[in-house]
Structure 1
Amino acid sequence: MAPEKKWSIQQPDSDLVNSLSRSCGCDSILASLLINRGIRDPQKALAFLNPSLSDISSPFLMKDMTKAVERIARALAEKERILIFGDYDVDGVTGTTLLLEFLSNAEADVTYYIPDRFREGYGLNKDYILSNAVAANIRLIITVDCGINSVEAVDAANHHDMDVIVTDHHETPEQLPDAVAILNPKQAECTFPCPMLAGVGVAFYLVLALRKHLRDKGFWAGRTEPNLKSVCDLVALGTVADIVPIKSENRILVKTGLDVLTTGIRPGVNALKEVSGPLKTELDTWDIAFKLAPRINAAGRLSQARAAVELLAAPDKSTALPAAHFLNKTNRERQQIEKAILDEVMRFLGANPGHLKLRSIVLAGNGWNEGVIGIVASKLLDLYFRPVVLISVGNGRAKGSARSIPGFNIHEGLKDCARYLDTFGGHKAAAGLSLLPENIPAFASRFERVVRGKSQAQDFVRKIVIDRMVRFEEINVGLMNQIGRMPPFGQGNPEPLFAAENVRIVRHGIVGKKHVRMNLAQHGCFRQGLPAIWYNGASRQPLPDEFRKIAFHMRWNLWQNRKTLQLVIKEAE
């Protein structure tokens, strides 16, 4: 049962469009795209179109930043043993690598640890403090992409004379851990202007502040002061993979990071690019999201995320390439497991169609890989457009991954189900949880009631948001060059989606069994037909002679050293 769709055409005020176009010296279509993304001020528009590291905010605007850098500086001066405690996803792995490289360069006595997803679960935990950190004589713990909920673990560390600095970006609970410093732009009284940083973004601003603090103390005299632009490749990887909005500070960091990734200064990334198959000459967010990030993530999903840190921190190609091949192999295994779980879920829903009459999907399976169910939940969300919770049951425990639609805050929804949960945490769109297996039916029932109570019927209609209706004669190289100023694309800055009416198919052919290559013309337009590709469009056979309307992206098609304009069809009626 496919979700209902509704085309929604943006209609920005024409006077505002003309004014912004004149002020910025840009095409009116580009001005429309900016306004559609909430950018109306000329200065903000120019900053958006020309992202620069020189425009990032002071890291000291983040609450507790001064406390954090002073404590780390003391650890450096007194040669205290420092532990970086990370998370097993791309965001956590890249943030861990970034901090590890910086502190190692500063000659710190530093080590790192990323918990086992299956044995230990997410976040800093009391057992690790007592069984490992105490014995290792750790004096300072810095968390990455975790820790905001680790009240008990931080208390245990404090009891054993260990200080903790929490760096995290997840939603803050009512009770915060008793840490020396908490760096989280979402916490109350934090004046940092970008609350939607990824975990690696928080880590980046920590080292940015620490570098300056150490500079002011004369620390770098006789040492090489790190160039932090070079670590923006890690920031881009983690930020894009964590699906945070590519706006404000994130846009600057991702744009800079993509340039660094394309240049290829990190042996581990170069090795990963080599095993990932053909990539664009200039990497974009798609290459991260669908090529690089899944391979980095695979380690933490199926085995040990340490392998991903070792890859990213590898000093040379000979060290990096075996690690890259391992991650590539692990990713193939992940794809097979993902397909098996998805097939099982689809068979169940096919045999039990009543579940699709609900506003949520909550399903549990024995032995489902808890590192993969989040991906499957995302696929189900895309298929059925409603909140999804998948739960893996095994060894007397249950762990779940939740994904949600824009109209329903999944984190707030889980708060209303807290009586049935042991733990939960996350964001508006994605969350993790754990509970007793016997509580799953009650949780599923309560969650459905919460979804119904906090949503409306229109929340379950997938909106196809059209940036602008265009005529084919408006589509040209000049417009493409204007659109080329909009990337990097992602959450908060989607790739522009255009629409055209009364389009006929001049000719078409099947490519790769599933895709349709076409040449399109528009009634009343005298320009020659435009080449187009419709991925997975072969399922619509037989194709009509013409479409009432189509929605499409405009992209360059690079083939055999030729660059041609091409429409990429997303919807057609």
Structure 2
Amino acid sequence: MLSEVRTKVESKRPLLRYLVDRREGLKNTSPKELLFSDFSCLHSPFSLPDIEDAVSLLLSFAKSNKKILLYGDRDSDGVSSTCLLAFFLKSHPEFLTANLEVMVSSESDPYGLCKEAVSKIQKAKPDLLVTLDFGSSQADEIDSLTALGIQVIVLDHHEVPVRIPKNCALVNPRRTDSEYPEKKICTAALSFKLVSAILFRTSKEWNQLYTKTVTNEDGTKEVLYFRNGIKLSKDQLDLIQNPRENPSKMENQIPIGDKNSESAPIDLSSALPFPEEFSTNIPLDDERKLFFYQCQKIPEFFEQLEEETDLAGIGTITDMMPLVGENRHFVKLALTSLTKLYVGDKKRKGLKELLKELKLNPLGITTKDLGWSIGPVINAAGRMGKTEEAVNLLLSENELEAKTRAKLLLSINEERKERTKRNMDRVERYFARKPERTTHDAIYCYEPDMEPGVSGIVATRMVDTYKKPAIFIAPDNGDARGSVRSYGQENVLTLLESLSEHFLHFGGHPEAGGFSISIDQIPKLEAALYEKAKLWLAEDEERPKEHLINTDFTVLPEEMGEKLLKEWKDLEPFGQGNPDIKLGIRNAKAIHLTPLSGGKHVRFHIIGSGSLKYMIWNKGEEFQSFMSNHGSFDLVGSLEENFYQGRSTLQFIVEWFGKAES
């Protein structure tokens, strides 16, 4: 239904005020921080757990020329995080002679450190293993590797169980002991954080103390100390003055000759004064301000980091991270970096050729490009069992090779689209034969002729169609693999946990999970699913009982002008956790109606809103039938920038049309 109160768009920045006042994830955000992004907005990486140990291990193993293996997951976040770190390590002076190998899981492998992955790692014989986008929940497997003398770093953002593996640097913001201000950042962003930590660690600013005196509310003076962008607690101050009393848990794994000066006591009197006069474009807390000030003092620090933002932004969008806080800045910085890459001569030849093959707008890469063009192509390789092709492209340093690999990756994506289409046709027939299957609390679909590799996409489309959580399963290499997607705020990992006795492996996020299962367990899973889903959803009081469409603003057709369009553009990026602004229009009258694809889609204009085009996908015939019986209609949708054949235009994508309740 449309919102009942119409808000006229006439004040200076009504959309900005709305976002700040109404959206939970943005309430404490400065309006300036919504509109602008630069490196000052990012937090110091040194509040991430085990980040210092991870940096020390990488530096020491590279210096001693021991073998470092990067092992990433097959999805877009796993590939992006792996290639981001690999590209940096290959180009940074500290790692030019490092013995580096890159591997990724394939679609035939179960999730994470399965026995197949452990076997591959053992054959590779690394001295240092870095897992990317998995490993947090696999303490037993990590312990088995460390028992063989393999040191392990885990970069991951999935849920962390109670037991954390020993002798392992687990860099995960979801750890209960993590002091990092953001909990929901993807692994590609963690790779970026590790890279920035390495750059800072190898500079003169490393471990430099700064001090600031503040006046408390009771009038007393307090002296604060900062190091590496972090305000130090009393315990931390004690530790840096007596470091040997509490050594790092990695102390025995880092060669003696490579242990750094942090082991020596630090004299507090050597602290530098906090740069009070230093100003930034955006109001910042003391920690971010100081860290940015220090980073500015490091030669070419931001120049080196700028090119690393691209894959961090791609991972953030494709892994559906909430676009609030730091994630917004990662994406905005990535859009700037990718646009410069497209028209300039940057080091990522593979990614540049992919942008060209996708025929994106060279004047400005958009959030839509990340989520609907770049990300799906990278994801497609893993879905089709060819993850290494995405890695080979992103690590390409030769333009001709990169062009060939980009074309190959696009052809793989076309195969993925065809497989998805065939599976969706089978899903429709599956539910058409027995419509009662759609009446359960969770929608379930499995048939032996389903094709593997696209279960997540199909499950998402089932959610969109039936407005319920959905599970889709397809046979895969003798067993089967399934995906589950949430509809509302429910946590799908809770459902998977309740059904875990049927799975070989399972994991994922609260919104999206996956599992592998033996074929003979599938009927038992379905039998148990419906009762478990009923109990699961009964505990979720926030689950919507009916599908409502609420608008952010209801406007008049004549208010859809340049002023509103510019405000919308300035407030990007929109996405998970910060959805696009949803606009409602009442009593609209369509003109210049043009059926597309034989009437499947339709394009039209609205009287009073100028040249803005309105698009309805997949419901063209339904709309034309409605129009034949009604002179006017209400609609809900959002704005979208479209680039086609060299032209960029704004259009309005209609989500719903009809007669709204008064």
User: Residue in 2 aligned with 1:73?
Assistant: 59
Letter aligned with residue 340 of structure 1:
R
- For the pair 1:235 / 2:312, whether they are aligned, the reply is yes
Is 1:92–1:199's contact at 8 Å kept on the other side of the alignment?
A: yes
- Shift in CA distance, 9/520, structure 1 to aligned 2, threshold 3 Å: same
Aligned twin of 1:100: 86
2:270 is the counterpart of 1:284:
no
Task: Report what 1:173 is aligned to.
Answer: 161
Distance change (3 Å), C-alpha of 1:51 and 1:445: farther
Gap change, CA 1:59 and 1:358, over 3 Å in 2? same
Give the alignment of 1:434-449 within 5 angstroms: 434-449=516-531
Q: Return the offset for 1:116.
A: 2.2
DSSP-derived class of the 2:308 partner: helix
For 1:307-456, what aligned pairs fall within 5 Å after superposition? 307-366=389-448, 368-393=450-475, 396-455=478-537
Pair member with larger Rg: 2
Match of 2:625 among 536, 539, 542: 542
Alignment of 1:226-265 (within 5 A): 227-263=304-340, 264=342, 265=346
Query: Displacement of 1:394 after TM fit?
Result: 5.0
Distance 1:297-1:567 versus aligned 2 partners, 3 A rule: closer
Map Cα deviations across residues 520-572 of structure 1 (whole Å, 9 max, x no partner).
Answer: 237xxxx7686433333422222424344211323566788887764332211
The residue aligned with 2:101 is 111
Residue pair 2:605, 2:612 contacting (<8 A) in 1 also: yes
Query: 1:36 pairs with 2, 22, 39, which one?
Result: 22
Matched-pair contact (CA < 8 Å) for 1:552–1:569: yes
Amino acid at match of 1:176: I
Question: Are the counterparts in 2 of residues 9 and 465 from structure 1 also a CA contact under 8 Å?
Answer: no
Which residues of structure 2 form unaligned runs of 5+? 207-259, 261-298
Q: CA offset at residue 434 of structure 1?
A: 2.0
Do the aligned partners of 1:165 and 1:179 also contact (CA within 8 Å) in 2? no
| Residues 1:175 and 1:486: Cα distance change in structure 2 (over 3 Å) | same
Q: 1:95 deviation in Å?
A: 0.6
What CA distance in whole angstroms lies between the structure 2 residues aligned with 1:127 and 1:373?
Answer: 21
Does the Cα contact within 8 Å between 2:25 and 2:578 map onto a contact in 1? no
2:602 to 516, 521, 527: 516
Q: Which moved more, 1:361-370 or 1:417-426?
A: 361-370
Letter in 2 for 1:123: G
What is the count of residue pairs matched by the alignment?
Answer: 550
2:583 pairs with 1:498: yes
Residue deviations 1:212-244 (CA, integer Å, cap 9, x gap): 11224999xxx9877011111111111111111
1:17-40 Cα shifts (integer Å, max 9, x gaps): 99xx8xxxx422331133232367
SS at match of 1:391: strand
CA distance in 2, matches of 1:468, 1:307: 44
Q: 1:179 to 1:89 in 2, by over 3 A?
A: farther
Q: Matched residues in 2 for 1:560 and 1:305: separation? A: 30
Q: CA deviation at 1:327?
A: 0.9
CA-CA distance at 1:450 after TM superposition? 2.5
Out of 68, 74, 77, which is 1:91 matched to? 77
Q: Which amino acid aligns with 1:430?
A: A
Task: Give the structure-2-normalised TM-score.
Answer: 0.77
**Alignment pair present for 1:477 and 2:477:** no
Q: Distance in 1 between matches of 2:26 and 2:149?
A: 52
Answering whether residue 95 of structure 2 is matched by residue 145 of structure 1, we say no
Whole-angstrom CA distance in 2 between matches of 1:321 and 1:10: 52
Q: Residues 320 and 164 of structure 1: is their aligned pair in 2 closer, same or farther, counting only changes over 3 Å?
A: same
- What TM-score do you get using the length of structure 1 for normalisation? 0.88
Identity, % of aligned pairs? Answer: 28
What is the identity, as a one-letter code, of the residue corresponding to 1:305? T
3-state SS in 1 of match to 2:30: helix
Matches of 1:492 and 1:102, distance apart in 2: 30
* Residues 20, 29 of structure 2: 8 Å contact kept: no
User: 2: CA distance between counterparts of 1:398 and 1:217?
Assistant: 52
Structure 1 Cα separation of the partners of residues 323 and 413 of structure 2 = 26
**Equivalents in 1 of 2:587, 2:137: separation in Å?**
55
Residue aligned with 1:401, SS? strand
Partner Cα distance (2:474, 2:560) in 1 = 49
Instruction: Report what 1:3 is aligned to.
Output: none
3-state secondary structure, aligned to 1:110 = strand
Superposed CA deviations along residues 66-124 of structure 1, whole A, max 9, x for unmatched, are 22112222212222211001011111111111111122222222111112221x32223
Q: CA deviation at 1:209?
A: 1.0
Q: CA deviation at 1:427?
A: 0.9
Deviations 1:459-490 (A, max 9, x none): 35333231111123333212221222111121
Offset, 1:300 = 1.3
Distance 1:493 1:88 in 2: 26
Contact 2:25–2:324 (8 Å) recurs in 1: no
Shift of 1:395: 5.4
Moved over 6 A (4+): 9-12, 223-226, 557-564
Secondary structure of 2:184 counterpart: coil
RMSD, aligned α-carbons: 2.9
AA of the residue aligned to 1:572 = F
Find the counterpart in structure 2 of residue 190 from structure 1: 178
Unaligned runs of 5+ in 1: 1-5
Cα separation, 2, equivalents of 1:467 and 1:71: 49
* d(CA) in 1 for partners of 2:529, 2:316: 30
C-alpha spacing 1:34/1:41, structure 2 compared with 1 (3 Å): closer
Q: Indicate yes or no: 2:113 matched with 1:124.
A: yes
